[in-house]
Structure 1
Amino acid sequence: MNVKHLVFIVNKFSRNGGSIISKLERVMPLFECTYDVHITRYPKHATELSESLVKERKQDSIIVAVGGDGTLNEVLTGLLNADSKPLTPLAYIPIGSGNDFARSLQLSFNLKESIHKIINTTSSTYLDVLIGESNSGNIVAVNSIGVGLDGMVINSLEKNKNKQRIGKFSYLASVISAYFSQKTFSLEILTDKGTYTYKQSLLAVCTNNTFFGGGIPIHPNALSTDGMVDLVIAEKVSFFELLTILFSILTNQKHLQHKKLHSYRTAFCNLTITPSQYGQHDGELISQKVDQLSVKTIKHPFFI
């Protein structure tokens, strides 16, 4: 595919979104490629934009999400909603706060380098996307879908409007704070390997990439190309055990060897959560507390 036109969907509310328009105006004349810029103006606007732009897209153009993981998620959701055949490829320029998708795939954070790579990519790379079904509706994620402690963290960050400042260390500090509020819950799990029950759970997260929470390697061996869901369960731990686990995450990434952490690689997982818990997908709060969650993967084309 010879890319001749880029369609940017820009989240101007992301960490560096305020200056990205002027940067695009300076950089794009360096390339023999035309472009349009569409700016998001309210939550979920990127989904509306991408869904409508698919219908207008020409074969030599690429839709480019410009923002953080949340923006990428919204744009991808719009493409999936459009249900185009063949599937519409998606490119991404990371300028947000978390950028876990870019970090996991080692994408460039330099605007000029990112655009050069997109324009000179000749074919799509098919990556796994997490598709969830829950009592709150359908869920899409490029990185993770989780309930419990991580949902509590995102709920707290959204209430305090601190998400734009999120990073690895600030997220871990939020985990420590949320630990004292998070009550344990019962978890019944069905996978292609069998059924499992945990009576005192703190966290259940389905991962598709190594990182979540702004650079935390929640599952160092997770891959977005293997067609599998990597499920991580955390049982109730003491505060000292929590600190030990967090230290391991930051240093040797051997935290999954801890006796209170469990991981499963599975083609799908069905979770029953009692009582219902806050949930998150790609760092965005799920609209209502979750008590039922089913997750699998599908393939989607990316220009990366």
Structure 2
Amino acid sequence: MEVHFIINPYAGNGQGIKRWRQFEQQLAIPYQSHLTKYEGHTLLLANELAGRATKENPVCLIAIGGDGTIHEVLNGAIHFKNVYLGAVSAGSGNDFARGYQAFKTSKQVEQFINTVKSSSHDCGVVKQGGTTKYFINNFGVGFDALVARIANRSSLKRSLNKWKLGKLSYPYYVIHALFTYKPFKLTISCEGKIKQYQNVWFVTASNQPYFGGGMKLSPNSITSDGQFELTVVSNLSKWKLLFLFGTVFLGKHTLLKEVEQFAATYAQLMFEEPVMAHADGETQKLVTGQNKIQITVQKKAWNLAK
């Protein structure tokens, strides 16, 4: 088996390279390491390395970075067989490690190589504007995407990352964005039914419970059940939204009448205005004319190295 470490040296304000140095000193197995050098490089590396995999010579790709790093590895490797994906958490939010399982020590990596113990998991598939993307944790549209974009670009997050407290920037920027954000109208076509929502703050498709650095947004999500959970938050005041984010760490927000949550295997989201979207925390702005998003699930699409 080929073992490749894909390291994002900039993750967690330098935590990526620090974590790699720790692993590098202790590894006692053959491996190759690859430092990412620019945005999108992780995806290209994963695609190239996964393409080497055969039944006789499988490939294990271990991402060292945050949720965005493992997101790119998944998107690069998703179409190849005989590939195992793993992660070493070195970002600010690290929700992947909460919903799945990440390597904490080099000994755990060596144990995997000896046993090849793994589990198969679903991924979400998003089609929009002629493009297809895959998500491993969650895909969101609206307020949560805007907060993720602001937080990812903030100097505060970089400063907190130095103390391994980067996840605290998310609640701060929830308040920061609260007073400028404009809720939107949303139509969801799902399982043969059409639902319309007014004053929507955000809609999120989840493949696992956590997002935003430990918020338990979708408590019932299971990573291998062949479906995702949609969470729609609408028609509530700004102050009640703050209360929602205060309860979401415990998963109690689902008791609010303004929060609707249901499972699906297919959903089409339709908007009237440009909105912000994110996949595993990686953000993009959906422009006018690209107002339809299709979300499906690809069952047991990838193998987690354990």
Fold in common (TM above 0.5): yes
Q: Give the aligned partner of residue 102 of structure 1.
A: 97
2:6 counterpart (6, 9, 33): 9
Structure 1 residues 139 and 237, CA gap change in structure 2 (3 angstroms): same
Q: Give the aligned partner of residue 170 of structure 1.
A: 169
2:65 counterpart (64, 67, 82): 67
SS in 2 for 1:285: strand
Which digits, 9 at most, give the CA deviation of each residue in 1:223-270, with x for residues without a partner?
1111111000010321331232122223x4221110111111011110
Q: What is the RMSD computed on CA atoms of the aligned residues?
A: 2.1
Does structure 1 retain, via aligned residues, the 8 Å contact 2:274–2:286? no
Stretches of structure 1 lacking an aligned partner (at least 5 in a row)? none
Q: Give the aligned partner of residue 232 of structure 1.
A: 231
- 1:49 aligned onto 2:45: yes
Q: Report the CA distance between 1:131 and its aligned residue.
A: 0.8
Structure 1 residues 101 and 132, CA gap change in structure 2 (3 angstroms): same
Identity %: 26
Which digits, 9 at most, give the CA deviation of each residue in 1:183-233, with x for residues without a partner?
111100011162210021110111111101111111111111111110000
SS in 1 for 2:62: strand
Does structure 2 retain, via aligned residues, the 8 Å contact 1:95–1:109? no
TM-score (norm. length: structure 1): 0.89
Structure 1 residues 70 and 117, CA gap change in structure 2 (3 angstroms): farther
Structure 1 residues 202 and 222, CA gap change in structure 2 (3 angstroms): same
Distance in structure 2 (CA, Å) of the matches to 1:7 and 1:189 = 41
Structure 1 residues 191 and 126, CA gap change in structure 2 (3 angstroms): same
Distance in structure 1 (CA, Å) of the matches to 2:245 and 2:121 = 29
Which digits, 9 at most, give the CA deviation of each residue in 1:168-191, with x for residues without a partner?
432122112212111111100011
Distance in structure 2 (CA, Å) of the matches to 1:296 and 1:265 = 11
SS in 2 for 1:34: coil
Distance in structure 1 (CA, Å) of the matches to 2:264 and 2:214 = 24
Distance in structure 2 (CA, Å) of the matches to 1:39 and 1:216 = 30
Task: Give 1:23-172 correspondences, 5 Å limit.
Answer: 23-29=22-28, 33-57=29-53, 59-80=57-78, 83-84=79-80, 86=81, 88-105=83-100, 107-108=101-102, 110-135=104-129, 137-161=131-155, 164=158, 165=161, 167-172=166-171
Distance in structure 2 (CA, Å) of the matches to 1:88 and 1:176 = 41
Distance in structure 1 (CA, Å) of the matches to 2:83 and 2:18 = 28
Does structure 1 retain, via aligned residues, the 8 Å contact 2:58–2:82? no
Distance in structure 2 (CA, Å) of the matches to 1:117 and 1:215 = 28
Whichever residue aligns with residue 291 of structure 1, its letter is: N
Which digits, 9 at most, give the CA deviation of each residue in 1:141-162, with x for residues without a partner?
1111111101111222244355
Aligned length in residues: 293
Structure 1 residues 167 and 161, CA gap change in structure 2 (3 angstroms): closer
Distance in structure 1 (CA, Å) of the matches to 2:257 and 2:112 = 43
Distance in structure 2 (CA, Å) of the matches to 1:161 and 1:228 = 37
Which digits, 9 at most, give the CA deviation of each residue in 1:255-293, with x for residues without a partner?
111011111101111000121201111011125446221
Does structure 2 retain, via aligned residues, the 8 Å contact 1:269–1:296? yes
TM-score (norm. length: structure 2): 0.88
Distance in structure 2 (CA, Å) of the matches to 1:162 and 1:193 = 44
Does structure 1 retain, via aligned residues, the 8 Å contact 2:184–2:273? yes
1:254 counterpart (252, 271, 280): 252
Distance in structure 2 (CA, Å) of the matches to 1:163 and 1:131 = 29
Stretches of structure 2 lacking an aligned partner (at least 5 in a row)? none
SS in 2 for 1:41: coil
Structure 1 residues 114 and 180, CA gap change in structure 2 (3 angstroms): farther
Does structure 2 retain, via aligned residues, the 8 Å contact 1:8–1:64? yes
Q: Give the aligned partner of residue 266 of structure 1.
A: 264
Distance in structure 2 (CA, Å) of the matches to 1:161 and 1:136 = 34
Distance in structure 2 (CA, Å) of the matches to 1:199 and 1:274 = 11
Does structure 2 retain, via aligned residues, the 8 Å contact 1:168–1:216? no
